[in-house]
A and B are shown apart, each in its own frame.
Chain A
Amino acid sequence: MIFNQLWKNKNLFISRHSSTLSTIFALATGYQVRSGVAIIRISGSLATQSLLTLTRETKLEKFQPKKLYLTKIYDNKTNDLIDQCMTVWFKGPKSFTGEDVVEFHIHGSKAIASVMFSILSSFPNYRLAEAGEFSKRAYLNGRLDLTEAEGLIDLINAQTEQQRKQSLYQMQGSLKDLYERWRIDLVKSLAHSEAYIDFHEDQHIENDILTGVIQKVQITYDNISLHLQDHRRGEILRDGCRIAILGAPNAGKSSLLNILTQKPTAIVSSIAGTTRDVIESTIDLGGYPVIICDTAGLRITNDPIESEGVSRAFDRANLCDLLIIVIDASTLNMNENLNEQIDQHLSNLFTIKSSSLNSLTKLIILNKIDLVNEKSQMKFSDNIIPISCISNINIQKFLSKLTQTIADKCTEPSFTTPYLTNERHRIYLTQTVEDLKMFLLLINNNRDLVLAVEHLRLAIRSLGTITGVVYTEELLDVIFRDFCIGK
């Protein structure tokens, strides 16, 4: 009876508070993304907001609950297309968690998931779910019955202790040491700030204590920022370097793919526009994992299927780490300024779909070099390689160049300067850096000290989510070790 009462109260409590709980999101299909479909699940009172914003719809009536919709989703800041995906939403309490739940069934690509995560975390009141949090909410909202709960326990186990251990283990100590060092530095700075707040006036803590804190935090801030600007090296190494082969129709892209995969992966013919869809293949190149995609030849066409192929080629190119541009050497005039011609060719290609691929690293292949006679004249810059897929000219040189470029992207893993390997870590580190920035800004402008220190606390919390939580005792240990406080 008492429990019933309790249960009733609890429900009252939840209905009173659920509107103010944060909205959480996570990859429901696990973090080893490289699958046909990946599902991002969002739960909370503001969940439907993401559905409307990302699909650029204004009315929720557009989407009936529990029905799948094929929609395009867009980055709300840049207006770029992110993916075409299936979306569905469930109206609370008739949902897994008992709250409003939105699901995006995106293509199972790390890149799409990353973009989605960074967009979702920018929504007000949204945050990445803690391990097991969806189930916890489901349970608290009375949505999960016992058998389901039992089934879930293994999952939860896998998601928490094991995952944490595993990721720590993966870090092989090097990342862990690094993060832990940062965290300890920050905890020390925090403890000194706290001592200043709590004891400065009656216990005479020196005034310059804050100067030291600011210096230390600045150093950590710089270090973490630098660590984040790693061009995703660790992740590329872990998940594979994504390469797209792009070029005009009939330039020999599929032939190049077949050479790389050492088997007839794609159909090769002399007819322009043979490849329509994106063809993906995974290879091991000099020890580095590579996901290589052949794409449709880029041209303006009235054929709706080919046109779609061209769109897909561009979309895929946008998600890649490296582009190989194949140019038919026989279409160039080898006596004129080659570099200028190549630049012109590239800009012609890319304007087909006003797309900006400028930021991506490109390797330029002049295929069919066997058809060109004036070989003696040719001088190429370093990232232009003349080859012939049919006559096997220069293939070795191309492969070693490609391997070297990928190696640059991934960088040799090293114990002393480890790289980020996990999107979750990246999100928490980004939060850490943002809060450290706020701390420095507020404290350097002599604003409310407690507000500034709050940001320092938040920064440590984010960092602690990766390596371990801070307990007040740890803080007090530092305070009492470093300062003389007593009555």
Chain B
Amino acid sequence: MFQLAKYNLRSFRLSNITTTYVRFSTSNYNSLSESELKSIPIQGVIKQPVNSSIFQPYDVVVVGGGHAGCEAAHAAARMGVRTLLITHKLETIGEMSCNPSFGGIGKGHLMREIDALDGLCARLCDKTGVHYKVLNRSKGRAVWGYRAQIDRKLYKQAMQNEILNTQNLHVMAAAVRDIVIDKEQSRITGITLDNHCLIPTQSVIITTGTFLRGCINLGMDEQKPAGRINDQPAIDLAKSIEELGFKMGRLKTGTPARLETKTIDFSKTITHKGDNPPLPFSFLNKHVWIKPDEQLNCHLTMTTSQLADIVRKNAHLSRHVTQDTQGPRYCPSIESKILRFKNQTHPVWLEPEGFDSDLTYPQGLSCTLPIDIQLRMLRTIPSLENVNMVRPGYGVEYDYIDPREVKPSLETKRVTNLFFAGQINGTTGYEEAAAQGIIAGINSACKVLNKPMFTISRGEGYIGVMIDDLTLHGTSEPYRMFTARSEYRLSLRADNADLRLTQSGYDIGCVSEQRYNQFQSFKKNYDQAKECLQNLKKPIHVWRHLLTSPPELNPSRDETIKSLYSLVHQAPYMMDNEKWLALVPDDQNVRSMLLSDNELCERLCLDAVYEHLTKRQKNEIDEVKRDESFIIPDSFDYQILQISNEAKQRLEEVRPTTLGSASRIPGITPATIFSLLRALKRQSQTSIFNV
């Protein structure tokens, strides 16, 4: 358990503590009497008396209330450990700092996986979206991208409602100054706040996003420290992380201007309507919260050569462009797009910010030019000739930590029980942040509960792909998820995220009983129906006679025996659901089950479509998993290996945690891996394996 002895609480100044606000879930505050409970409004801010009792050691402290922080805190709390979330301002918990949308290609997959682990964002998007659209419908189910425009305000409210009403989860508004570690063991013991007050804790998750030494750029003149417009950056924390020896780098991102909706002439744009019916993100939901025709529209317009001229003439005024010595490969801003590619025109999506918002978000116009030039530039775009710019676009520069400093569990290699999650690890995007948050949250709790680390392999999920990429290769540009990054794309589909992850999530303890029960009942039906279809076997010519419409009267005799299941991917036979469903026996209610459950039917067909290739992949995935189960201890000395110095250097650099990850480092040969295996086994015999 936690050792308090080394730190004397009284040695810290507690003078400012009365200004610290703490919000917590009433349902879990045991020290309060019944009567006190009644007097507390569920969503009130409680002024905590100066009393060190609230600073009983927390199990997990999450620093940051963004998408990573919220998922992390909620996941840790779900696991049943005492969790505290600390954020600068309570009212920015769950803020969508940039685009008003969630999901997309690859990103939608991440959300489905977060949902399969009982995370928040997918569920919340189902009740706050204003426009739901699945991308890539024409390209095959494996790459469908669930996406939605979200009402910022509603999302933030929904998130705060969750965070403030979760058992085991307390919330505090404060700035974190320092990380306190036991230097000898290199282990977290607590954090200190701006007011020098110490909060002892067993583990800490840092999810500070762009706030670490954040700095906003707007034109050449304006450059000021801030994590987000109007928000203070975290400078002390950055220093204290640096002092611990973490390798850090600097990344840039940007956000476009916000436009006044009523000054846009939408008649000059192409209107895009939401899906009908809109598909929910969460496995828990059959429908989203709004009716199809209540959805708001998105609009598409294109930039013109006039805009390109303005950008080219003023490029010297953009800090991001002028600084761009070796910028990211995919361009974050309209300036880079114009300067790097020949195309004169680029798409601009005009996205609604919410039902009662009068703002529009012009996606594709991220920009750091001076304000007057931004406005001139905007007004060259068809439909924006008379637009009012409510807020200019700006760029943010911030510190990130080389993600090779963290393990696949997201715990840092340097400091035991310190976790990093989200944009701080060099990613971009809400979904990438949330996905890391949930993993860090689960693992911080696992540490406290003495459970094994919960990791997802490349073969099990996009979350695994992302974390593996980051922890093995690092990143020199904001890391964004694409489906191209996964080698097992056909197996890692949005539709089967629950089958891939919910069971293991439940086993580790982050999935609620309610979700698990729902999952189990689905899985039971699914397995039963699948088995039934697989056992339904007839010669091909019989199937052809039965399934084609109009029935093929004399199909050429093909006596090969095939199951109905294996025929599903042969499109011409299976277009007509009713036709093949009629052939399914109803002895165990399988047919009526399939008839009544459209989703089940669809998911079975999907599995069947991809099965002949996913089977091939499954073998590889299992082999990857097996290598992943071979763990390299943290203290392993690569110098003892009889391998080339180059290989040693590479292994030293990355310090892979498993044999599997070691084998994926570029330039590492099977011989090196074998040498590693041999040494590992030798060490086990002399039992150096005391971690």
Which A residues lie at the B interface, using CB under 8 A? 1-3, 6-7, 9-10, 13-14, 17, 20-22, 125, 130-132, 135-136, 139-140, 146, 149-150, 152-153, 156-157, 160-161, 194-204, 447-451, 454, 457-458, 471-473, 475-477, 479-481, 484-487
Q: B364, B571, B619: which has the most chain A beta carbons within 10 Å?
A: B619
> In whole angstroms, how far apart are the Cα atoms of A447 and B570 in the complex?
10
- Please give me the residue from chain B that is nearest to A23 by CB atom: B619
Task: Select A160's contact among B616, B671, B681, beta carbons within 8 Å.
Answer: B671
Within 8 A of A (CB), among B520-547: none
Contacts of B616 in A (CB 8 A): 458
Residues of B within 8 A of A (CB): 98-99, 104-106, 135-136, 138-143, 145, 329-333, 336-337, 340-341, 343, 346-347, 349, 363-364, 366, 469, 473, 482-485, 487, 489-490, 571, 609-610, 613, 616, 618-619, 622-623, 625-626, 629-631, 642, 666, 669-671, 673-675, 677-678, 681-682, 684-685, 687, 689-691
Q: Please report the C-alpha to C-alpha distance between residue A479 and residue B490 in the assembled complex, in whole angstroms.
A: 20
Distance of A3 Cα from B687 Cα, bound (Å): 8
Known: A450-B490, A472-B469. 5 other contacts (CB 8 A): A9-B629, A146-B682, A202-B363, A451-B142, A454-B489
Measured between C-beta atoms, what is the minimum distance from A123 to chain B in Å? 13
**Separation in Å of the A420 CB from the closest CB of chain B?**
24
Nearest CB in chain B to that of A17: its residue: B622
How far apart are B493's CB and chain A's nearest CB, in angstroms? Answer: 9
Of B343, B484, B571, the contact of A447 (CB 8 Å cutoff): B571
Q: Are B674 and A13 in contact (CB under 8 A)?
A: no
Q: Which of A7, A139, A450 has the most CB of B within 10 A?
A: A450
Known: A451-B613, A485-B330. A22 touches B619 (CB 8 A): yes
8 Å CB contact of B678 from A150, A202, A481: A150
A450 touches B629 (CB 8 A): no
CB pair B140 A146 closer than 8 Å: no
Q: Is the CB of A146 within 8 A of B681?
A: yes
Cα(A198)–Cα(B135), bound, Å: 9
Q: How far does the Cβ of A164 sit from chain B's closest Cβ, in whole Å? A: 8
From B139, B623, B684, contact of A3 by CB (8 A)? B684
Interchain CB contact under 8 A, A472 and B484: yes
Q: Chain A contacts of B613 at CB under 8 A?
A: 451, 454
The answer to whether A448 touches B609 (Cβ under 8 A) is yes
Q: Which residues of B sit under 8 angstroms from A479, Cβ to Cβ?
A: 484
Closest chain B residue to A142, Cβ basis: B681
Q: Which residue of A lies closest to B99 (CB)?
A: A487
Take A125-B619, A136-B674 as given contacts and tell me if A454 and B490 are in contact as well, using a CB distance cutoff of 8 Å. yes
Q: Say whether A450 contacts B682, CB under 8 Å.
A: no
Once A2-B690, A132-B670, A149-B678 are accepted as A-B contacts, the answer to whether A486 and B619 lie under 8 Å apart by CB is no
Assuming the A-B contacts A451-B490, A486-B332, are A475 and B484 also in contact, with contact meaning beta carbons closer than 8 angstroms in the complex?
yes
**6 A-B pairs, CB-CB below 8 angstroms?**
A21-B619, A21-B623, A194-B484, A451-B142, A454-B489, A484-B340
- Return chain A residues, CB-CB under 8 Å to B341: 484
Residues of B within 8 A of A131 (CB): 670
Distance between Cα atoms of A130 and B613 in the complex (Å):
21
Closest 9 pairs between A and B when the two form their complex, measured CB to CB:
A450-B140, A3-B689, A480-B329, A194-B484, A448-B140, A486-B331, A484-B341, A198-B482, A22-B619
Interface of A (DSSP majority class): helix
* CB-based contact A146/B143 at 8 Å: no
In Å, the complex CA distance between A194 and B486 comes to: 11
Q: Are B143 and A13 in contact (CB under 8 A)?
A: no
Contact partner, B685, options A146, A152, A487, Cβ 8 Å: A146
User: Do B483 and A10 have beta carbons less than 8 Å apart?
Assistant: no
Alpha-carbon distance A195/B609, docked complex (angstroms): 23
Q: How many whole Å from A135's CB to the nearest CB in chain B? A: 7
B324 CB to nearest chain A CB (Å): 13
Do B671 and A161 touch across chains, with their CB atoms under 8 A apart?
Answer: yes
B135 pairs with A202, CB closer than 8 A:
yes
B682 CB contacts on chain A under 8 angstroms: 146
| A198, B105: Cβ atoms closer than 8 Å | yes
Q: How far is the CB of A38 from chain B (nearest CB, A)?
A: 23
Q: Is B677 a contact partner of A139 (Cβ separation < 8 A)? A: yes
Of A201, A475, A481, most buried by chain B (CB within 10 Å of CB) is A201
- In the docked arrangement, what's the CA distance between A447 and B139, Å? 9
From A125, A140, A146, residue with most partner B Cβ within 10 Å: A140
Which residues of B sit under 8 angstroms from A7, Cβ to Cβ? 684
Once bound together, how far apart are the Cα atoms of A413 and B666, in whole Å? Answer: 34
Taking a contact as CB atoms under 8 Å apart, the answer to whether B571 and A487 are in contact is no
Q: Is the CB of B674 within 8 A of A132?
A: yes
A198 in contact with B671 given A449-B140, A487-B366 (CB within 8 Å): no
B contact residues around A449 at 8 Å (CB):
138-140, 143
CB-based contact A197/B136 at 8 Å: yes
Take A3-B684, A450-B142, A485-B331 as given contacts and tell me if A194 and B482 are in contact as well, using a CB distance cutoff of 8 Å: yes
Complex CA gap A486/B327 in Å reads: 13
Given known contacts A146-B678, A486-B333, is B691 in contact with A10 (CB within 8 Å)? no
B residues within 8 A CB of A13? Answer: 625-626, 629
The answer, among B135, B139, B332, B626, for a CB contact under 8 Å with A450, is B139
- With A21-B622, A451-B490: A487-B332 Cβ-Cβ less than 8 Å: yes
Contacting residues, chain A, for B690 (C-beta < 8 A):
1-2
Interface contact B346-A472, CB-CB below 8 Å:
no
Question: What's the nearest-Cβ distance from chain A to residue B278, in Å?
Answer: 17
Contact assessment for A198 and B626 in the assembled complex, using a CB-CB cutoff below 8 Å? no
Distance (whole angstroms) from the CB of A244 to the closest CB of chain B: 39
Chain A: which residue is nearest B342 at the CB level?
A484
Tell me the complex Cα distance, A58–B669, Å.
41
Whether B666 lies near A471 (C-beta < 8 A) is yes
Whether the pair B347, A203 counts as a contact (CB closer than 8 A) is yes
From B98, B337, B490, give the contact of A484 (CB < 8 A). B337
State whether B674 touches A197 (Cβ < 8 A).
no
Q: Tell me which residues across on chain B come within 8 A of A485, comparing CB atoms.
A: 330-331
A190 to nearest B CB, angstroms? 9
The answer on a CB contact under 8 Å between B626 and A17 is yes
- Most chain A C-beta atoms within 10 Å of own C-beta, residue among B341, B629, B666: B629
Partner of A487, one of B329, B363, B482, B622: B363
Q: Closest CB of chain A to B126's CB: distance in Å?
A: 21
Q: Is the CB of B618 within 8 A of A20?
A: yes
A443 to chain B, nearest CB (A): 11
Instruction: Choose among A17, A130, A140, A202 the residue with the greatest number of B CB atoms under 10 Å from its CB.
Output: A202
B669 and A160 contact, CB distance less than 8 A:
yes
Given the known interface contacts A149-B681, A197-B136, A457-B487, the answer about A487 and B364 at a Cβ–Cβ threshold of 8 Å is yes
Q: Which of B105, B671, B684 contacts A153 (CB 8 A)?
A: B671
Q: How long is the Cα–Cα vector from A125 to B625 in the complex, in angstroms?
A: 18
Provide the bound-state CA to CA distance between A486 and B337, in Å. 8
Which of B626, B631, B685, B689 is most buried by chain A, counting CB atoms within 10 A of its CB? Answer: B626
**Measured CA separation A152–B105 after assembly (Å):** 46
Which residues of the partner chain A approach B625 to less than 8 Å between Cβ atoms? 13, 17
Residue of B nearest to A447 (CB): B571
CB <8 Å contact, B484 and A161: no
Q: A6-B631, A7-B684, A202-B135 are in contact. Are A135 and B484 (CB under 8 A)?
A: no
Closest to A162 in B: B671
Q: Which residue of B lies closest to A141 (CB)?
A: B626
List A contacts of B363 (CB < 8 A): 202, 487
CA distance A152 to B675 in the complex (A): 10
Task: Output the nearest chain B residue to A471 by Cβ-Cβ distance.
Answer: B666
A204 to B364 CA separation, bound complex (whole angstroms): 11
- Contact B674 A451, beta carbon cutoff 8 Å: no
